[in-house]
Structure 1
Amino acid sequence: MELRHLRYFAVLAEELHFGRAAERLHMAQPPLSQRIRDLERELGVTLFDRTRHRVTLTEAGALLLEHARPILEGAEAAREAMRRIRPGASGVLRAGVPPDTAPRTLQTLVTAFTERVPDVLVELHELTTETQLGRLREGELDAGLVRHPCDTVGLASGPVVHRRLGVVLPERHHAADQELVRLRVLNGSPLVIFPREMAPSLYDHMLAACRDNGFLPGAIRHARNPDFVLGLVLAGLGVHLNEPPAGALPAGLVWRPIDEPRLTWSTSAVWRPAQAGDAVAAFADAALEGLRAADHT
């Protein structure tokens, strides 16, 4: 017994008229009559008494209707539940972004997303790359904005864009007066960097690039909060690799470009392929627009 045949039966039981039932079902009357006959043959009962002027339910038809209604209601509830788990179907798209995402990127992302899908609210969560990947795979996020390299196996990804990193130094550091800092001249300086658990692959990539260029940190200090990072550098407790500052650095600090093109913030939108849809596509496009507005190329 097919679910669609039960639906045909239930509509005819409500209308008790083949013409009106066929109209509701967006089908011609002869195929509807054939499907009802097929159902009667399958069940071995007569579901409707038919005369030239009227259609009535038989006792068997009335009994089947009692069983069919909860089945059809349950199927509709299941369909609605599936619609609601699709990103944007509930009116909200849940997305993660790195904690240090530039204000210009966030402003552009939200504005561009709203222009593309005005009926969907983007709900942004400040999350590390590793946390985003876990929540995407668990279905707790609809999309994310992550830093590469990272493990995106099983996820879809938008274009990866890049922004070269430089180094934040105390003014009194011996490399502070150089227009382009060669990483090897930082050898022995402590390094202030985000904790590895935030983005393990990116962390390892950055330390490998430093090592390959002759920069072996004398110590590694971990910090998440940007103000804490700058405070450690200002106190002479390390140097810090980051993109050009959006505003003025605190007095006593300078930012200088470095000679290693592999050290970049490489960023893209990611999502589960099964979650792809208009809202996710709008997020990916808006995220790319936001990153480019903050000089990612």
Structure 2
Amino acid sequence: MEFRHLRYFVVLSEELHFGRAAARLHMAQPPLSQRIRDLERELGVRLLDRDRHRVRLTEAGALLLEYARPVLDSADAAREAMRRIRPGAAGVLRVGVPPDTVPVTLRTLVDAFSAREPGVLLDLNEMTTDEQLAQLREGGLDVGMVRHPTDTVGLESGPVVHRPLGVVLPVEHPAAEDATVRLRRLNGSPLVIFPRLMAPKLYDHMLTACRDNGFVPGAIRHARNPHFVHGLVLAGRGVHLNEEPSAGLPPGLVWRPVDEQSGRLTWSTSVVWPRAQTTPVVAAFAECALSGLRAAGHVPRD
């Protein structure tokens, strides 16, 4: 039994008129009559009583209609679910976000986007800036949220917003007593920073800004997991530059803003996407992501 034969039968059962049913199905009347006869022959029952004046369902036809409608509804629902879940298909937006995106940003952007585009599923993926850029150019992502400076040649970008960085210190560090830390006070201290391969341009930019402000690390240690970062700082193995923590720090650590006049030590973030993906849905996501970043304290630069 073929789905299309069931669909023909259901439409005919609703119209009880071969001409109107054929018009709804965008087919000629003779082929419709033949398909219904084929279905009756396959099932071994008469589904319709028909004469020159009217068409009526038989008892067998009424019973088949009761079963056929849920079957077709389920098939339509399955087809729609597969359409929505196909990578790159309309209905699914594949998004990259930085690994250290704070919870308030994600909550705000997801809530705002769901309200604006309730029919679109957000497929959120935790990726570094360089991983996102590679996937955007290869077609694995539709849109990303990346840190600057970085190479966005060939991509469209929303506004860049900024959040100043401070320094995470063990309470025993001499600079922990300062309300605002001058970077030269950190000179010689080891620095705990993300691995360079995560965002090479940003990595080099941060080290240059530190050097220009009188902070040359005595050693560099790489870590990406926040717990490992805090463990290294707590153990006295370095200091760490990051935005003000949203959920507090482990006992024994403090966060202090830094005095860095050039304004280069910030998380500078924007939404980027391939030019071919410039759609209303992507534009809606960019606006919602900007709302999420602002909720976490990111602001445009004057």
With structure 2 as the length reference, what TM-score do the two structures score?
0.69
Determine if the alignment matches structure 1 residue 280 to structure 2 residue 278: no
Of 84-93 and 177-186, deviating more is: 84-93
Structure 1 residue 231: deviation in Å? 0.4
- Which residue is 1:3 aligned to? none
- Which residue is 1:232 aligned to? 232
Give 5+ residue unaligned stretches, structure 1: 1-23, 25-82
- Which residue is 1:177 aligned to? 177
Mapped contact 2:84–2:92 kept (Cα < 8 A): no
State the Cα deviation string for residues 203-240 of structure 1 (Å, max 9, x = none). Answer: 00000000001100000000010010000000000000
Structure 1 residue 135: deviation in Å? 0.3
Aligned residue type for 2:192: V
Q: Percent identity?
A: 73
Structure 1 residue 90: deviation in Å? 3.0
- The 3 A distance-change label for structure 1 pair 130 and 124 is same
What aligned pairs does 1:188-227 form with structure 2 within 5 A after superposition?
188-227=188-227
> How many Å separate the matches in 2 of 1:224 and 1:86?
31
Mapped contact 1:87–1:280 kept (Cα < 8 A): no
State the Cα deviation string for residues 183-212 of structure 1 (Å, max 9, x = none). Answer: 001000000000000000000000000000
State the Cα deviation string for residues 91-140 of structure 1 (Å, max 9, x = none). Answer: 10000000000100000111111111110011100000000000000010
Structure 1 residue 89: deviation in Å? 4.3
- The 3 A distance-change label for structure 1 pair 273 and 87 is farther
> How many Å separate the matches in 2 of 1:116 and 1:88?
19
Structure 1 residue 247: deviation in Å? 1.6
State the Cα deviation string for residues 248-276 of structure 1 (Å, max 9, x = none). Answer: 21000000000112100000000001111
> How many Å separate the matches in 2 of 1:84 and 1:111?
19
> How many Å separate the matches in 2 of 1:88 and 1:121?
11
State the Cα deviation string for residues 273-295 of structure 1 (Å, max 9, x = none). Answer: 11110111111011000000111
Structure 1 residue 164: deviation in Å? 0.3
What aligned pairs does 1:118-133 form with structure 2 within 5 A after superposition?
118-133=118-133
Aligned residue type for 2:98: P
Aligned residue type for 2:141: L
Aligned residue type for 1:100: D
Number of residues of Structure 1 aligned to a counterpart in Structure 2? 216
Determine if the alignment matches structure 1 residue 268 to structure 2 residue 270: yes
- Which residue is 2:164 aligned to? 164
> How many Å separate the matches in 1 of 2:90 and 2:283?
16
> How many Å separate the matches in 2 of 1:178 and 1:138?
47
Determine if the alignment matches structure 1 residue 98 to structure 2 residue 98: yes
> How many Å separate the matches in 1 of 2:259 and 2:125?
34
- Which residue is 1:241 aligned to? 241
> How many Å separate the matches in 1 of 2:85 and 2:272?
17
Structure 1 residue 86: deviation in Å? 11
State the Cα deviation string for residues 24-59 of structure 1 (Å, max 9, x = none). Answer: 9xxxxxxxxxxxxxxxxxxxxxxxxxxxxxxxxxxx
Mapped contact 1:87–1:277 kept (Cα < 8 A): no
- Which residue is 1:62 aligned to? none
> How many Å separate the matches in 2 of 1:277 and 1:126?
23
| SS of alignment partner, residue 175 of structure 1 | helix
- Which residue is 2:55 aligned to? none
- The 3 A distance-change label for structure 1 pair 87 and 282 is farther
Mapped contact 1:87–1:142 kept (Cα < 8 A): no
Moved >2 Å (runs of 4+): 83-90
> How many Å separate the matches in 2 of 1:272 and 1:122?
17
| SS of alignment partner, residue 271 of structure 1 | strand
| SS of alignment partner, residue 174 of structure 2 | coil
> How many Å separate the matches in 1 of 2:210 and 2:259?
11
- Aligned CA-pair RMSD: 1.8
| SS of alignment partner, residue 276 of structure 2 | helix
- Which residue is 1:259 aligned to? 259
Mapped contact 2:85–2:91 kept (Cα < 8 A): no
Mapped contact 2:142–2:274 kept (Cα < 8 A): yes
Structure 1 residue 85: deviation in Å? 12
| SS of alignment partner, residue 159 of structure 2 | coil
